[in-house]
Amino acid sequence: MTNTPELTIERLFASPKLTGPAPQNVKFSPDGQRVTFLKNRKDNAQHFDLWQFDVASGAQSLLIKSDWLDPNDVELDEAEKALRERQRIATRKGIVSYHWGSADQILVPFNGTLYLVTLSDRDEIDARALTQSQGFEYDAKISPNGQYASFIRDGSLYSVDLISGQETPISPAAAADAGVSYGVAEFVAQEEMSRYTGYWWSASDRYLAYTELNESGVDIIDRLDVAKDESQLVAQRYPRAGRPNAIVDLHIYELETGQHTKLASFGPDTYLARVNWNQDEIWFQAVNREQTCISYHRALAPDWRSEPAHSENQTSWVNLSSDFVTVDPHNILITEEKLQSDDTGAFRHIRWLPHPDLPTTDEKHRRPELTSGDWPVSAILAVNEETRQVFFSGHKDTPLEQHLYSVSLTGGPPVRITQAGKSWSVMMAPNGASFVGRSSGPEHPAQTGLYTASGELITWIEENRLDSSHPYAPYLARHTVPEFGQLKAEDGQDLYYSIHKPAGFRPTQQYPVILEVYGGPHAQTVTREWERMGDNFYTRQGYIVFRLDNRGSAHRGKRFEDTIYRKTGAAEVRDQLTGVEWLKQQDYVDPSRIAIQGWSYGGYMTLMTILQAPIGTFAAAISGAPVTDWSLYDTFYTERYMGTPEANPEGYKHSSVFSHLDRLTTPLLLIHGMADDNVTFDNSTRLMAALQERGKHFELMTYPGQRHGITGPPLERHLMTTRMQFLNRHLQGGPA
């Protein structure tokens, strides 16, 4: 019998990744003949190159190695660092983004330079630098007709003619000292709205819409950025709850004439959320400061006079969507959260956008919704006009699994396409005739395949087979999978949980438990997907890992979410404690050895839960990068759920960690990156001072130079070791 090796912390964060290869940023070429994706190197899980899959031959090959473009490492500029932090790709090296132009041209931003890569029939590549400046180019795109490349440099928008190579400034020059820039997205747009750009091409290449961003009225937060070898005071423009936002103007630039037209202005009490083109007709979405209304506007050349066209309203808050799919010039599909019944609340569904040029007698006005029911649509993925099908992702079958569905443009029940028992993310081909599906389940890590539109596997792009050559193969013998179940919240709504027991589990033995919590809105932790490798490490150390998605979390509809409205850290805490009470009733759980840990909103939830739970509920708690007072966090996120501090003082008071600190008795480990520009470090320094003033003892681990996440294998190993030493000491009787 072969001995199974121990899964060590060192191996947990080493290369190759234990989960196996998983293509990132998957795209179809415009002609549908290739599927391209970013793939990490076997000897460096954070370094990515561009690969391709030939649809006709089924062959996979390296397309562009980052070293071919530039073998040197270049220090990123601050704007690029911030953008990658917002996109949660801060640790990646090599090629991190790319953009298709024509079927044989790809734009690759790398090391601050733009490269135009031209492919031949023999897969030979010609890469030429489009830019030669001393500046750092980012947010690069190829225009829809492939005539231009565009990018941001030093806070201004530029274009390059791909034939002549002529570079043209589109916007005025930025004025950094005055807080004015062009074509970029402000902090809350990137961090909270998932809008990472500030410019948009029209379909004809004739027009460019771009933002003029004025942050002069936004408070400057002097953030002490403590690195390992130096410290500096960073003057960060950060709009905290109740404080002024940036002003964003939307402009139209006509490339042929060079004419600029100011279209609309937003702020400081209105947000520009989305911009879409329908041929040469522009649509944009504005959200009011209270975030109770999304208003759709459209404008046309030549005068670009905007007019309201549609609105979505909620009594609590509206959730943004990126769905805007043109079927023909007058028929546009969007998703909205519409009331389904008094009992179940509103769920996101597909509907026709009422178009001002469409007669009111049109069928779309009489029957606007394509889907309905007590389940949510996640996103519209494609429309196949030949088969008259709309493809979308959603959670119709169960909240635990995301699937691909289709529904007829003429109505009817949706049809699930992807295999049940696991969760899916999908990229549809441009014509909707096929898709690349990435799926994983509790029994198997992520697999990526090319499928027909009906869900039949054509071929694997990355099968990621769990055979003897897989990185995880040496550890499979002790692999375990979580079990799933449901509990009831105090209002009768279902709460889904997962419980992951150790290998060799014996029901007569009592085990310590780690309650992993996030608990925040727009997130879900209990899903039928391949487990986190950290969970399997914990179970191998003799721990049970428990998760529960409390009210307020995602994919359950507005009634489930709205429980937290204007008072966070209350209903979510009670739901987590419902899970703890259930755990204590299980014979195999040691009720005196339950710990709780979480990061970001999960760090906040960790603190709020131990401070409101009955004394002795938890044996230990680990809070990472927590918000401690919502008045310290940004406007768009905080005010969506809480309103402003002036309008909701009692809600802010009771939702603050500081209102409950006198009840701290649980051993606490506090962790924070000392350069965090999202949940700023003063959230934790204020907590430290308040606990010290009260004579409350706690343990602390800070990470110089680290932002909101602790990244890189050495530091990830250190973080896990720190956690394990703390947990073992308090739950396993390990050394002090």
Residue 400 CB contacts under 8 Å (≥ 6 apart), including other chains: 423, 484, 496, 526, 527, 528
E strand residue ranges, 3-147: 24-28, 34-41, 44-54, 60-64, 93-94, 99-100, 105-110, 113-119, 125-129, 137-142
C-alpha to C-alpha distance for 701 and 603, rounded to whole angstroms: 14
Domain locations in the chain as residue ranges: 182-320, 478-731
Is 426 within 8 Å of 435 (Cβ atoms)? yes
Is the pLDDT reported for residue 312 higher than 60?
yes
- Sign of the Cα torsion 524, 528, 530, 532 reads positive
342-367 pLDDT, tens per residue?
555 799 999 999 777 766 555 555 56
Q: Do the beta carbons of residue 611 and residue 660 sit within 8 Å? A: yes
65-105 pLDDT tens trace? 988 888 777 777 777 777 777 676 677 788 988 999 888 89
Q: How far is CA 308 from the centre of its chain?
A: 30
Name beta bridge partners: 234: 223
Give SS3 for 735: coil
Of 305-309, 393-397, 719-723, which gets the smallest average pLDDT? 305-309
Percent of the chain with pLDDT over 70: 96
Q: What is the pLDDT of residue 1?
A: 40
For residue 238, pLDDT beyond 80: yes
- Mean pLDDT value of segment 590-619: 97
User: Hey, how many other C-beta atoms are within 10 angstroms of the C-beta on 588?
Assistant: 17
**Would you name the residues annotated as active-site residues?**
600, 676, 708
Handedness of CA 60, 66, 71, 75 (dihedral sign): negative
**Check whether domain 478-731 has CATH 3.40.50.1820, yes or no:** yes
> Which pair of tokens denotes residue 276?
């879409």
Write the CB contacts of 87 (distance below 8 Å, at least 6 apart in sequence): 190, 196
C-alpha closest to that of 186 among 196, 175, 176, 174: 196
DSSP 8-state symbol, 476:
G
Task: Kindly tell me the burial class for residue 228, based on how many C-beta atoms sit within 10 Å of its own C-beta (0-12, 13-18, 19 or more).
Answer: exposed
Render 235-287 in DSSP notation, one character per residue.
EEE--BTTSPPPEEEEEEEETTTTEEEEEEEE-SSEEEEEEEEETTEEEEEEE
Residue 681 pLDDT greater than 70, yes or no: yes
- Name the more confident of 506 and 87: 506
Residue 206 pLDDT > 70, yes or no? Answer: yes
Mean pLDDT rounded to a whole number for the chain: 91
| Segment among 100-114, 510-524, 528-542, 665-679 with least mean pLDDT | 100-114
Q: Please tell me the distance from the alpha carbon of residue 115 to that of residue 131, in angstroms, as a whole number.
A: 8
Q: Diameter of the chain by CA atoms?
A: 79
Model confidence, pTM? 0.92
DSSP string, 495-508: EEEEEEPPTT--TT
Residues 384-400 pLDDT 10s = 988 999 999 999 999 99
**What pLDDT sits at residue 416?**
98
Q: Would you give the end-to-end CA distance of the chain in angstroms?
A: 37
Contact (Cβ atoms closer than 8 angstroms) between residue 96 and residue 87: no
Give the residue-averaged pLDDT of 128-142: 87
- Given a cut of 90, is residue 428 above it in pLDDT? yes
Element (H, E) at 720: helix 713-731
User: Taking a C-beta distance cutoff of 8 angstroms, is the pair 561, 317 a contact?
Assistant: no
Token pair of 63, please?
């397309």
**Locus of tokens 């939830």:** 605
